[in-house]
Chains A and B, each alone.
Chain A
């Protein structure tokens, strides 16, 4: 076979493989991903659907329960908030007023957190209360 033809065939095979892989990547990404939402997006959430919720833990909302913790999550900027119940140990940096990311599923009026899905803003990047600057 002529070298040029051989190269062309190789290129077509490689491109076809790349297209197939890219297709698989897009398909599995759409299938496996959760909708990333804020509390205000969840006010019209469907029961049973899974969401990745990002927001701040509402001050005064954290209640320790026998299995874990109940709290409310609000928008970063805003007041819309939803109740979340989480079973298991919470991450060390978890606190009221701190930003969290959690995968939740709606059950009745509350949102149940998926096991091991609660993460809290890394403390290395968390600046404490703003002090007055000159």
Chain B
């Protein structure tokens, strides 16, 4: 099977190289059959890589430890649900996932545009195939997922227990879908520049939905990562400004900028250089994100260790940057704006300002992320920036961004008049001021930046709400529909617009959640004995008693858990009871470890206690003090080592089980102390609710509306007429 998988990848590489040549030759010589052959190469690669990926997945699901990657990242005791996800927890598996998604999305876009963009599409095909060739070459020559082991182990190392979380199943495919989808507008922008078709907005219209999909998938991927960090990692945070996290944020920020600014090019023929530059930068940043995880160039907690992929990626990024800049400079005349900005009080100006803020944020994040390298070049020593530095710049920029997302939907195109401004802004502004005043009275004034975010968030909700209200009112007056039907028809007739508005509301909720949970969060690290208490915010956390238990799976010991029962009260009244735990998984590496000790030397994971609510989250994690158990564990190791080989395996297993049960009982009898992290944090849930609203809004904007279907039919008809006329 491994040989077949590898052969499919080699074939995919060969087809990709052929496809690049065929597409370019067809485009230059005007030979449609070569262009079509290039396009079919993409479909063929999708089929080949699907086969290759299926072989790897089957190997994981069957626990085929002859595959080196399966032996290192899965085991027979890994739950089936997670065996599938284990395939992309390795460097080589994740690269294969990247290539697979790239080939699928590329096939979809090229199929959808097969009768459009006849001059642009062949070059775009060549670029997409170039990416495919690059990743296929990495998989064939550098990091193959089909490497076989000389000695097949009976058991694998297993998927790290921390990754056994549903969001980790979806997080990487979402991120990679985002990255790979962003290469599509990039490829079409390069095609449009080469074919001198960049002035027209056709290529933008053809790839707009893919750009929006990329933005949505990448956003979901980022948020799933944040959720996993909050719920699983035992530190209570959701964002750490780590280089790899930042790398995923960079293309999302520039992508957000261009899905706004391309509207100005479509409507007014403006900002062409800006748009094409943003599209190219976003595509390049998507590759940079992939590179950062794999190069080891920056110290990141998320980077793959000991990678040899740095140099090929640097070469690829160099080629992308050089060709992007070169093409934009060469085509600067075709990229001149058809119109000028009429007024600074117009939707175009607000979009431009929104773009500047987003690009400024991207620049700050880029600067902070690469500061160790910049500082080394400037001063000779590596220096690193922490979260406070990022917050200094990104928080004010985020406030301005949220404010603009409330102004943009309601301000007039070209030039806003005083009466237009009064009509559209009076109510939202009054609502925002009222919310601000109310919150200031209740103590939010102590954190001015957070208060500013709350005011801006209220402004966004009010201005978008006003737009929906007015739209529904107009429809009801025209058709006599009831309010719900009118709302549905309103959204269905202009999904992109109202889906976008919903995204703005979701982002406002998300940012309000971030501002509140950052500014008013109260986190305490404290060591408690049973019966002792600690206060966090308005809540008192009392460590009532210790807990412990042994979990088994399929007859094998899965983990030993030591935990606590924590009573949470407010003003003397019981609020909730939490049961945080720390689970100790046995080490698979038995060499050098005692028969008992190895059960405490594997991965340890926190099962947090969480009481989430609309108003606040109460969060706890605990680290048990197992020092008093160490003499017992060492004694157990001595006894079982001395008895090794003298007991029947079944008897030895039973004795070991009894010994572990004894240790677990001893932990309870000792009334042990434990280190707790307790957090009370307001509005964290708003982050996840905001994310769901963003997701729904994005889906509505992506969903083809009746207009799109009509346009598609018209385009097909026009293409057929043109073909017939060409033949005549």
By a beta-carbon cutoff of 8 Å, the part of chain A in contact with chain B is 25, 28-30, 32-37, 52, 54, 64, 66-68, 87-93, 95, 99, 101, 103, 115-117, 119-129, 131-134
Given A103-B386, A124-B89, verify A33-B375 contact (CB < 8 Å): yes
- Tell me which of A25, A91, A131 contacts B367 (CB under 8 A): A25
Q: Which residues of B contact A35 (CB under 8 A)?
A: 381-383
Q: Which residues of B contact A95 (CB under 8 A)?
A: 603-604
Is there a chain A Cβ closer than 8 Å to B149's Cβ?
yes
Among residues of B, the one whose C-beta sits closest to the C-beta of A93 is B162
Among residues of A, the one whose C-beta sits closest to the C-beta of B674 is A89
A29 to B244, CA, bound (A): 19
Contact, CB under 8 Å: A131 / B234: no
A129 to B393, CA, bound (A): 41
Contact, CB under 8 Å: B371 / A29: yes
A29 to B370, CA, bound (A): 11
Among residues of A, the one whose C-beta sits closest to the C-beta of B303 is A125
Given A124-B160, A125-B304, A134-B149, verify A25-B364 contact (CB < 8 Å): yes
Is there a chain A Cβ closer than 8 Å to B318's Cβ?
no
Q: Please give me the 7 A-B residue pairs with the lowest Cβ-Cβ distance, nearest first.
A: A128-B157, A88-B525, A123-B160, A33-B383, A36-B382, A122-B302, A134-B150
A123 to B233, CA, bound (A): 10
A133 to B143, CA, bound (A): 13
Is there a chain A Cβ closer than 8 Å to B270's Cβ?
no
Q: Which residues of B contact A28 (CB under 8 A)?
A: 389, 392
A115 to B381, CA, bound (A): 24
**Closest CB in chain A relative to B580 CB, distance in Å:** 11
**Closest CB in chain A relative to B373 CB, distance in Å:** 10
- Tell me which of A32, A64, A90, A126 contacts B627 (CB under 8 A): A64
Contact, CB under 8 Å: A91 / B589: no
Give me 6 other A-B pairs in contact (C-beta within 8 A), A29-B367, A128-B157 excluded.
Answer: A67-B527, A91-B235, A92-B234, A93-B160, A123-B160, A133-B148
A88 to B372, CA, bound (A): 27
- Tell me which of B367, B375, B604, B626 contacts A30 (CB under 8 A): B375
Q: Which residues of B contact A92 (CB under 8 A)?
A: 162, 232-234, 603-606
Q: Which residues of B contact A30 (CB under 8 A)?
A: 375, 379, 383
Q: Which residues of B contact A116 (CB under 8 A)?
A: 235
In the complex, which residues 58-86 of chain B have their Cβ closer than 8 Å to any Cβ of chain A? 68, 71-73
Among residues of B, the one whose C-beta sits closest to the C-beta of A24 is B393
**Closest CB in chain B relative to A46 CB, distance in Å:** 13
Interface string of B223-245 (1 = CB under 8 A from A): 00000000011110000101010
Is there a chain A Cβ closer than 8 Å to B33's Cβ?
no
Q: Which residues of A contact B158 (CB under 8 A)?
A: 128
**Closest CB in chain A relative to B236 CB, distance in Å:** 9
Q: Which residues of B contact A99 (CB under 8 A)?
A: 305
Interface string of B201-236 (1 = CB under 8 A from A): 000000000000000000000000000000011110
Is there a chain A Cβ closer than 8 Å to B153's Cβ?
yes
Is there a chain A Cβ closer than 8 Å to B122's Cβ?
no
Contact, CB under 8 Å: B389 / A91: no
Contact, CB under 8 Å: A121 / B71: no
- Tell me which of A90, A93, A122 contacts B623 (CB under 8 A): A90
Is there a chain A Cβ closer than 8 Å to B388's Cβ?
yes
Among residues of A, the one whose C-beta sits closest to the C-beta of B368 is A29
What are 26 A-B interface contacts by the 8 Å CB criterion?
A: A25-B364, A29-B371, A32-B385, A32-B386, A33-B385, A36-B299, A36-B372, A54-B299, A64-B625, A88-B525, A89-B623, A89-B677, A90-B623, A91-B233, A93-B162, A95-B604, A101-B299, A119-B242, A122-B244, A124-B302, A128-B589, A131-B68, A131-B72, A131-B149, A133-B148, A134-B149
Q: Which residues of B contact A134 (CB under 8 A)?
A: 147-150
Q: Which residues of A contact B486 (CB under 8 A)?
A: none
A71 to B151, CA, bound (A): 36
Is there a chain A Cβ closer than 8 Å to B687's Cβ?
no
Is there a chain A Cβ closer than 8 Å to B163's Cβ?
yes
A91 to B235, CA, bound (A): 6
A68 to B454, CA, bound (A): 37
Is there a chain A Cβ closer than 8 Å to B301's Cβ?
yes
Among residues of B, the one whose C-beta sits closest to the C-beta of A103 is B386
Q: Which residues of B contact A90 (CB under 8 A)?
A: 623
A38 to B533, CA, bound (A): 39
Interface string of B14-43 (1 = CB under 8 A from A): 000000000000000000000000000000
A88 to B679, CA, bound (A): 13
Contact, CB under 8 Å: A122 / B301: yes
Q: Which residues of B contact A67 (CB under 8 A)?
A: 527, 675
The residue among B148, B242, B625, B675 with the most chain A CB atoms within 10 A of its own CB is B675
Q: Which residues of A contact B153 (CB under 8 A)?
A: 131
Q: Which residues of A contact B606 (CB under 8 A)?
A: 92
A129 to B306, CA, bound (A): 13
Q: Which residues of B contact A120 (CB under 8 A)?
A: 301
Contact, CB under 8 Å: A133 / B364: no
In the complex, which residues 589-641 of chain B have their Cβ closer than 8 Å to any Cβ of chain A? 589, 603-606, 621-623, 625-627
Interface string of B276-319 (1 = CB under 8 A from A): 00000000000000000100000101111100000000000000
Q: Which residues of A contact B588 (CB under 8 A)?
A: 128
- Tell me which of B72, B384, B676 contacts A128 (CB under 8 A): B72
A83 to B149, CA, bound (A): 39
Given A95-B603, A122-B301, A132-B151, verify A127-B72 contact (CB < 8 Å): yes
- Tell me which of A89, A124, A133 contacts B147 (CB under 8 A): A133
Q: Which residues of A contact B383 (CB under 8 A)?
A: 29-30, 33-36, 52
Is there a chain A Cβ closer than 8 Å to B90's Cβ?
yes
**Closest CB in chain B relative to A24 CB, distance in Å:** 9
Is there a chain A Cβ closer than 8 Å to B262's Cβ?
no
Is there a chain A Cβ closer than 8 Å to B401's Cβ?
no
Q: Which residues of A contact B160 (CB under 8 A)?
A: 93, 123-124, 126
Is there a chain A Cβ closer than 8 Å to B663's Cβ?
no
Is there a chain A Cβ closer than 8 Å to B250's Cβ?
no
Is there a chain A Cβ closer than 8 Å to B168's Cβ?
yes
Contact, CB under 8 Å: B627 / A125: no
Contact, CB under 8 Å: A29 / B68: no
Contact, CB under 8 Å: A36 / B240: no
A29 to B373, CA, bound (A): 12
**Closest CB in chain B relative to A7 CB, distance in Å:** 10
Among residues of B, the one whose C-beta sits closest to the C-beta of A122 is B302
Q: Which residues of B contact A103 (CB under 8 A)?
A: 386
Among residues of B, the one whose C-beta sits closest to the C-beta of A36 is B382
The residue among A121, A125, A126 with the most chain B CB atoms within 10 A of its own CB is A125
The residue among A25, A32, A91, A132 with the most chain B CB atoms within 10 A of its own CB is A32
A28 to B162, CA, bound (A): 36
Among residues of B, the one whose C-beta sits closest to the C-beta of A54 is B299
Among residues of A, the one whose C-beta sits closest to the C-beta of B604 is A92
Q: Which residues of B contact A91 (CB under 8 A)?
A: 233-235
Q: Which residues of B contact A115 (CB under 8 A)?
A: 525
